[in-house]
Structure 1
Amino acid sequence: MSDNNNNAEKRRSNKKKGTKKKKLSFFRLFIIITLLCAFIGTGIVGGMVYAVIKSSPEVDFSQMGTLLNENSFILDDNGELVEKVKSDSLRTIVKYDKIPENVINAFLAIEDRSFFDHRGINPKRIVGAFVENVKAGAAVQGGSTITQQLVKNLYLTNEKSLERKIKEAYYSITMENELTKEQILEAYLNTAYLGGGAKGVQGASYFYFSKDVSELDLAEAALIAGITKNPSKYSPLKTLKKEDVDPKKHLVLDDSDQLYTIVYDDRYRPRQELVLSIMKSEGMITQEEYDKAINEDMADHLKPGKSSTFGISSYFTDKVKYDVIEALQEQLNVSPQDASDMLYNKGLRIHTTLDVNMQKIVEAEYKKSANFPSLISRKNSAGDILAKNNSVLLYKKGNLINSAKELIIPKSDYTYDSNGNLVLNKNKRFNFYTSKKDGQVVDIIVKLKDAYVENGNKEYLILKGGNLNIPSEYKSFDSNNNLVINKSFFSSYGDFAKKDGNGNLLVSKKYYYLSDNGAIQPQSAMVIIDPRTGHIKALVGGRDIKGQKLYNRALNPRPPGSAIKPIGVYTPAIDNGWTAATIVDDIPRYEPSGKMWPKNWYKDRFKGLSTIRQALQLSMNVVAVKVGEQVGVNTSIDYLKKMGISTIVEKGRYNDMNLAAVALGGMTKGISPLELTAAYGSLANEGVYIEPVSFTKVTDKDGNIIIENTPTKNRVVSPQVAFVMTDMLKSVVSGGTATRAKFEPSNSKIPVAGKTGTTSDNYDAWFAGYTPYYVGAVWIGNDIQMKLNQGSSVSTQLWQNVMSKIHKNLPDKNFKKPDGIVAVAVDRVSGKLPTQLSYRDPKLGEKSVIYEYFISGTQPTEYDEVHVELEVDTSTNKLAGPNCPPTLIEKRVFRKRPIPYMPEANNGIVPTDYIYEAPTEACDVHVVPENNNSIFDNLIFPLTGDDDNNNNDDSEVTLPDGVTVSE
């Protein structure tokens, strides 16, 4: 039996050997054929190699150290340095003798085990990698040495071509001849891209573990070395938007940012294990060291560095970096990693549009608390801020967290059910959300509500609350939608909470998150653009400008309120035949449902017959909606898109395909300050929209142009339409809702044109305006729904504070009036040519006649018919009749609406101009009585005889003319 087993084993062994021999024979045949072809083509290839080497620029490898520090530079519009693009925490050069042996060995193990034996290239490894890749049918192993990788990182691109590979081999051999192995390895370990913007092992050490490279242990060194193959895939950190975080799937490592959360990503694990395995097999580490490292829980090691993003000096340069990386990808067709590498490692010179003096002016004004409104808040007795429905909107921090940084859950906020499970009551300190997959609830998210503190200026700082860390299997809802935490949770997590002497639960810091650094409220953003070029001259994305500014409010859409009216309603109207003198009646308007909508901001008042200019000047909501209704929502949307508005929601349950959005600014998402500024810029630029840009060109260190950033442009309206709109917007500043914006009383030396905007409950306050020089927009509001104690007047004043300083030394200049514009005298009540009655308007008198600008061909040709002259009885103020005494009759001028207005059909509401309406009723005091009236009661009869019984046949009666008496 034993012999049979041995024979069977031999057969199996021989079968395996046979299979292996067949494979090897096939591979040998393949190699022989390949070598024969290679010999045949040697002459051709040799000539090509010689030509490439001959044409390759000479490289002084002794100067490689300076190249390692070749950061890019951001320059202002005068070519002066704004920022050196670098971040020491992400790329710090470290000397070879300061790099731990385990770090060096980890990289050698995974990248180039024969590094100290080859002379730049390793033919054996290239063939070996080729064989392994053929066997696997995919690229599973690289053939490049560390020297080749360094050459590619510093001197070449990632272009996949034979020419580049020849240069790579040539430079690698040359480098090996000129530098020591230690110099090459030092340079490589300081330049390798290791994810998250980290350049080199020192940067990676800070990025992943918040420590110096000299402090890395074996497991950490192996993890970092394993990242090199694919940093985006093998990084142990993943950055997600907060709404994409699933507590069941994701282990949160850092939730301190306002928008993003860093979570643990275990895809690095196979690479780390491979590194450790090779190190062990190569004798670099012992079995004991291997066992210890392989069993380390790396989630406990990972501590994302607080300076883990690229260095940021301001909101403007932050946007520049983003825009440059985008442009490099698009124009050079490179990957995001390569584009980022070019920005941070290739010594680029980025010529921006920034005017440093303007930026300083804006930032100086943003440091002044007096420039910003206060908040209107209602508080409960504990000091917590209440929402409209009286629920807690913001907790006072001291009511949430004690001095030991434990989260306080009052005994009134929780109970225990009959099974001993902890029940957290709804609508208290946590919000409960369900996470679903395929329609099924997979987890319950328990999010701590936000808190606030006050600074020395009595300003609110909002502290963002994060998730309560409880595994999904322990959470459920009871019948009242309160959260139930199964009692078994506390057996596994005994340190979760404890009770204080008052019965309150105190939750350990490790199980909840509340940000340490608050965002000051209210917040604000401002953008200034040169409308003729699209160049962004200054940009601020928030107040309290410190550190990393990940939340740039200048790029964040907010509802624009009435600031949308010029671009969403009136520009399309003027471009489609309406005029500044077109009359619209500001009276109640009703929805098909019968609801009166909209209301004017001046409460329930209506002003009556108004020109488009007046409607814009006084920001009339009803007129804007009526005009938008006639223009059409789709047309409004088309114009907004032409002006660069990209945040329009056209589909879904909540969308912007309605008058509330395009006429009143109640948009689903809103418009960012940057896009609103550029949109107004199209009017300032004679009707041409230019896409805003933050930089003009990118060059290499020698001045060779890499990117020429020419902004896109398109004509939205004619210069004539833009001029009429500009003149109307100038009226808003001269005598409308934005008088605070003008630089001097006449608003004529350097005129300002613009529009205010305020959303419901003063949540958002806007002013967007322009001069013949620049266009700018200011937004003020809160990161949560809290009222401002002032509306658009405060944003208008901030705009003026900034722009008046920017224009201080500029010469007087007016808006350019194009050909094709005519000024015509019109009646402002009818919008038509004036008559003699126009000068006798009952309210305005001769001021009813004004000169208005028109695009040639759109000026009125008909005469005013609104003003009428009627005779009235001054004692009744009604139409005079034939019997009214002449002494009481007076001729007066009235207004007669083209479409009569009936207060009784509008719940008695009358517009303010109704008192000037022509009377329609005749005097009812001085009237001629009809025949059947008791006229004889007022007559005197001179009768003969002494008593009533006398015969009256011969009596004479004197009657008024035309009155007869019959039997």
Structure 2
Amino acid sequence: MRFDRKISVWTRVKRAALALDAWLSASAFDSRRDLETVWRRYTAFTDLFRARGAARVVLDLASEGVTLGLAGATVMLALAIPAFYETQEEWRRTEELAVTFLDRYGQEVGRRGIRHDDSVAIDEIPEVVIKAALATEDRRFFSHWGIDPIGTARALVANSREGTVVQGGSTITQQLAKNLFLSNERTLDRKIKEAFLALWLEFQLSKNEILKLYLDRAYMGGGNFGVVAAADFYFGKPIGEVTLAEAAMLAGLFKAPSRFSPHVNLPAARARANDVLTAMVNAGFMSEGQVQIARRNPASAIDRGRETTPDYYLDWAFEQVRDMARDGHFGNQRVLVVKTPLDQAMQRRAELAVEDTLRQHGERYRVGQAAAVLMEPDGAVRAIVGGRDYGQSQFNRAAHARRQPGSSFKPFVYATALSYLPYRPDSTVVDRPICLGNWCPNNYNRSFSGAMPMITALARSINTIPVRLSVELGEGDAKRGRARIIETTRRMGVETPLADSSSLPIGASEMTVLDMAAGYAVFANGGERARPYPTVEVTTQDGVLLYAHDRDAPRERVLSTGVVADMNTMLVAVPERGTGRRAAIDGIRSAGKTGTTNAYRDAWYAGYTGNFVAAVWFGNDDFTSTNNMTGGTLPAMTFKEIMTFAHGGVEPRPIPGLSDDGPAVAGGGPATTASIDPQVAALQRNTLSRRSFEVVTGIGSLFEEARTPQGFREGRAPGPAALAAQPAGPGGFQPVTR
């Protein structure tokens, strides 16, 4: 039968959809059946490997071990990557520069550079020197792969038995990794990098190459690096002629070159050498009979007249010269003579001031380290104290340690405010509660003083005022205001990156002592940036001038003269009537600011005269708290001692923007109203004569000292309430400032 009726499009679509649905259903059914078949075959196959009982336990543990191992490997890789970044440069290359440093009078003070590298081949170093080094530093050196768990465990047992550190756990490879790539800062991050770099060195170098580099790079005291230089310095002979007794004395210097230097303490050096001989016997390197002659005839060092070198200064100067060379300042010249601004007398006095202060008061305040920088207002660095003992730790705390500055940072905030806002020293600011989010800064006495002149707020270290200024600088946006503060601080010479946090205005962000000195130098020189520099002139060995600071260094104004004058007007109040009275220099007017951080971890005093700028820090390397030490105690006292010596025989220059009618009165009393600016004079009104005022002030100071425990904690300064030195400080985690 024939049908002529045409099938509609819609009918065709429905039929096609039904056909597709049927195909999908059939395919799904068939696929399910096929998958079931595959799964049955797979399970049948895996059943062949099914383990039961003890075998299953072992396999489960192995599986967990693989999983944990992969996770651990991922963590280890993440930790290793920062360490391997240190090896990106051509680390095998011998340091190209050979630099001779002269002091400001043209006298040679030291050398840095290639004189320390590869002077004698490893097979020319006597066997007794190598054995002595291995016995004391790493007996299993030729057995381990960079890290020695057995040696570390042995050191832990020995140290726990003695109750002190008598053995080190680091291998020679780890110590070389630190010398080649890392600093001496004692941090967990450095130890992790050190371990990975030690493993890396073991793959890159032979054992003899590692040992040779270590013997060339180890600091041996007296500014000498390596056993070759040490043999010449201590015994006046080449390394090849060193005896067993002398080799033992050299090996004793590796861990504590200052403490066991024969020039410093010959009995201690000989006792240490005897311990090295014992270690050589215990390690099986020599017999007791072989070392008896050395025990009976200990080594003696030649007389060097207790020579000392400014090693912290020279290390920092060499870093600066090396950076300048990389920037092309010296062309292709690599043998250089650098005349520095270093004043050796000031350097020694600064070192002595730090050591004397720590020796006298360190135990009382539970503080063990300090750093100081002395420089001219243009940035010429006269002295650097990077720590208490270079022989014990070569880490330069003045140049590289980053610590919270506390209230010593506030002048940067006030300088920014004076630059952008219509404030003057006598402008009224209000100390009242303020919160940024859930952070609310408090003053030290947990109270608020209301309206006061800006000069009083800075002298009393009021915490709320800098925070309020940061909000005003940002026109209501504190973050924008802090950005202005950071920019001003950077332009003033602080090179350490500042962390932007709510507590930045009261000194929560870390900086170095050199940063602090550079920033305060802007106030001392009238508003120009003062980059700390060690290069007055750089010449070739033949005397060809390559660089002169006066000729080649750029000058940049960062603060107006008006802002500088206002800041100096406020900062002179700190040593004259505020928290820094112990920093007042007899007969010379100075300005400055104290700083003390949360939990008394860091204490600062930074200040200046028209002649010099100095910054002083006291604290502990492990960031532990001191015993209530403030910036107005040990730092201020050390500042005064350093600056008093520096001004000996020097014609005092006026502080920019201030009248020079008379210096500050010694002993912390106020200057006469005739010798200070009108804004300050307006805040100090009395009817006594100058002599009467000094007498009354002196009596008040005596009573204050008598009331203060140990005579070292800061109290209120005599005088008007507007300039009372009431400290302000912590409110939670933010820095305390005094």
TM-score, normalised with respect to structure 2: 0.52
CA contact (8 A) 1:687 1:722 kept: yes
Aligned pair partner of 2:338 in 350, 361, 370: 350
Structure 1 Cα separation of the partners of residues 462 and 177 of structure 2:
56
Aligned pair partner of 2:181 in 239, 249, 274: 239
Aligned pair partner of 1:324 in 321, 337, 351: 321
Unaligned segments of structure 2, at least 5 residues: 1-96, 135-141, 143-175, 226-308, 474-480, 660-675, 689-738
CA contact (8 A) 1:753 1:769 kept: yes
Does 1:765 find its partner at 2:610? no
Unaligned segments of structure 1, at least 5 residues: 1-69, 101-200, 212-218, 220-233, 253-260, 273-296, 378-458, 460-520, 650-654, 830-842, 848-967
Superposed displacement of residue 246, structure 1: 9.1
Structure 2 Cα separation of the partners of residues 352 and 623 of structure 1:
41
Structure 1 Cα separation of the partners of residues 399 and 682 of structure 2:
39
CA contact (8 A) 2:373 2:614 kept: yes
RMSD (Å) for aligned C-alpha atoms: 4.2
Structure 2 Cα separation of the partners of residues 553 and 752 of structure 1:
22
Does 1:792 find its partner at 2:634? no
> What's the counterpart of residue 80 of structure 1?
107
- Fraction of identical pairs, as percent: 24
Does 1:599 find its partner at 2:442? yes
Counterpart of 1:702 in structure 2: which amino acid? D
Superposed displacement of residue 349, structure 1: 1.4
Superposed displacement of residue 372, structure 1: 6.4
Structure 2 Cα separation of the partners of residues 565 and 300 of structure 1:
49
Does 1:725 find its partner at 2:564? no
CA contact (8 A) 2:398 2:512 kept: yes
> What's the counterpart of residue 546 of structure 1?
391
> What's the counterpart of residue 754 of structure 1?
592
| DSSP 3-state at the match of 1:706 | strand
Superposed displacement of residue 567, structure 1: 1.1
CA contact (8 A) 1:316 1:539 kept: yes
Structure 2 Cα separation of the partners of residues 86 and 592 of structure 1:
52
Superposed displacement of residue 757, structure 1: 0.5
Does 1:736 find its partner at 2:678? no
- 1:368-412 Cα offsets, whole Å, 9 max, x none, are 1456644689xxxxxxxxxxxxxxxxxxxxxxxxxxxxxxxxxxx
| DSSP 3-state at the match of 2:536 | strand
Structure 2 Cα separation of the partners of residues 371 and 209 of structure 1:
34
Superposed displacement of residue 762, structure 1: 0.6
C-alpha spacing 1:620/1:371, structure 2 compared with 1 (3 Å): farther
Aligned pair partner of 2:487 in 638, 643, 660: 638
Counterpart of 1:627 in structure 2: which amino acid? L
Counterpart of 2:106 in structure 1: which amino acid? G
Structure 2 Cα separation of the partners of residues 556 and 731 of structure 1:
29
Structure 1 Cα separation of the partners of residues 678 and 213 of structure 2:
72
> What's the counterpart of residue 540 of structure 2?
700
Structure 1 Cα separation of the partners of residues 111 and 679 of structure 2:
60
| DSSP 3-state at the match of 2:553 | coil
- 1:48-73 Cα offsets, whole Å, 9 max, x none, are xxxxxxxxxxxxxxxxxxxxxx9642
Structure 1 Cα separation of the partners of residues 441 and 645 of structure 2:
38
Does 1:304 find its partner at 2:214? yes
Counterpart of 2:630 in structure 1: which amino acid? G
Aligned pair partner of 1:566 in 400, 406, 411: 411
CA contact (8 A) 1:583 1:610 kept: yes
Structure 2 Cα separation of the partners of residues 302 and 352 of structure 1:
33
CA contact (8 A) 2:528 2:559 kept: yes
CA contact (8 A) 1:598 1:622 kept: yes
C-alpha spacing 1:244/1:625, structure 2 compared with 1 (3 Å): closer
| DSSP 3-state at the match of 2:402 | coil
CA contact (8 A) 2:496 2:515 kept: no
- 1:224-244 Cα offsets, whole Å, 9 max, x none, are xxxxxxxxxx99996357766
| DSSP 3-state at the match of 2:215 | coil
The structure with the largest strand share of the pair is: 1
Structure 2 Cα separation of the partners of residues 775 and 809 of structure 1:
17
CA contact (8 A) 2:582 2:637 kept: yes
> What's the counterpart of residue 359 of structure 1?
347
CA contact (8 A) 1:375 1:788 kept: no
| DSSP 3-state at the match of 2:572 | helix
> What's the counterpart of residue 523 of structure 1?
369
Superposed displacement of residue 674, structure 1: 0.3
Structure 2 Cα separation of the partners of residues 760 and 580 of structure 1:
27
Structure 1 Cα separation of the partners of residues 312 and 179 of structure 2:
25
Give the aligned length: 436
Counterpart of 1:331 in structure 2: which amino acid? G
C-alpha spacing 1:638/1:207, structure 2 compared with 1 (3 Å): farther
Aligned pair partner of 2:465 in 623, 639, 654: 623
Counterpart of 1:576 in structure 2: which amino acid? L
CA contact (8 A) 1:76 1:351 kept: yes
State how 1:921-940 maps to structure 2 within 5 Å: none
Superposed displacement of residue 740, structure 1: 1.1
Structure 2 Cα separation of the partners of residues 733 and 72 of structure 1:
41
CA contact (8 A) 1:375 1:787 kept: no
Counterpart of 2:566 in structure 1: which amino acid? V
C-alpha spacing 1:360/1:763, structure 2 compared with 1 (3 Å): same
State how 1:632-711 maps to structure 2 within 5 Å: 632-649=481-498, 655-658=499-502, 660-661=503-504, 663-667=505-509, 670-709=510-549, 710-711=552-553
Counterpart of 2:338 in structure 1: which amino acid? I
C-alpha spacing 1:88/1:621, structure 2 compared with 1 (3 Å): same
State how 1:489-500 maps to structure 2 within 5 Å: none
> What's the counterpart of residue 286 of structure 2?
none
> What's the counterpart of residue 388 of structure 1?
none
Structure 1 Cα separation of the partners of residues 534 and 106 of structure 2:
14
Counterpart of 2:422 in structure 1: which amino acid? G
- 1:581-614 Cα offsets, whole Å, 9 max, x none, are 1111222334455x6x21112x123222110001
Counterpart of 2:631 in structure 1: which amino acid? S
- 1:499-558 Cα offsets, whole Å, 9 max, x none, are xxxxxxxxxxxxxxxxxxxxxx52111001111x31111111101232661344443221
C-alpha spacing 1:235/1:567, structure 2 compared with 1 (3 Å): closer
| DSSP 3-state at the match of 1:756 | strand
C-alpha spacing 1:206/1:751, structure 2 compared with 1 (3 Å): farther
Counterpart of 2:644 in structure 1: which amino acid? S
C-alpha spacing 1:349/1:737, structure 2 compared with 1 (3 Å): same
- 1:93-115 Cα offsets, whole Å, 9 max, x none, are 68xxxx96xxxxxxxxxxxxxxx
CA contact (8 A) 2:568 2:656 kept: no
Superposed displacement of residue 367, structure 1: 2.2
Superposed displacement of residue 350, structure 1: 1.2
> What's the counterpart of residue 783 of structure 1?
621
| DSSP 3-state at the match of 2:605 | strand
Counterpart of 1:725 in structure 2: which amino acid? M
Structure 2 Cα separation of the partners of residues 547 and 826 of structure 1:
47
Does 1:555 find its partner at 2:465? no
| DSSP 3-state at the match of 2:422 | coil
| DSSP 3-state at the match of 1:563 | helix
- 1:589-646 Cα offsets, whole Å, 9 max, x none, are 34455x6x21112x12322211000111111112222222212212111111111222
- Higher relative contact order (Cα pairs below 8 Å, separated by 6+ residues): 2
| DSSP 3-state at the match of 2:529 | strand
Structure 1 Cα separation of the partners of residues 317 and 130 of structure 2:
23
Structure 1 Cα separation of the partners of residues 543 and 643 of structure 2:
34
CA contact (8 A) 1:766 1:792 kept: yes
> What's the counterpart of residue 265 of structure 1?
201
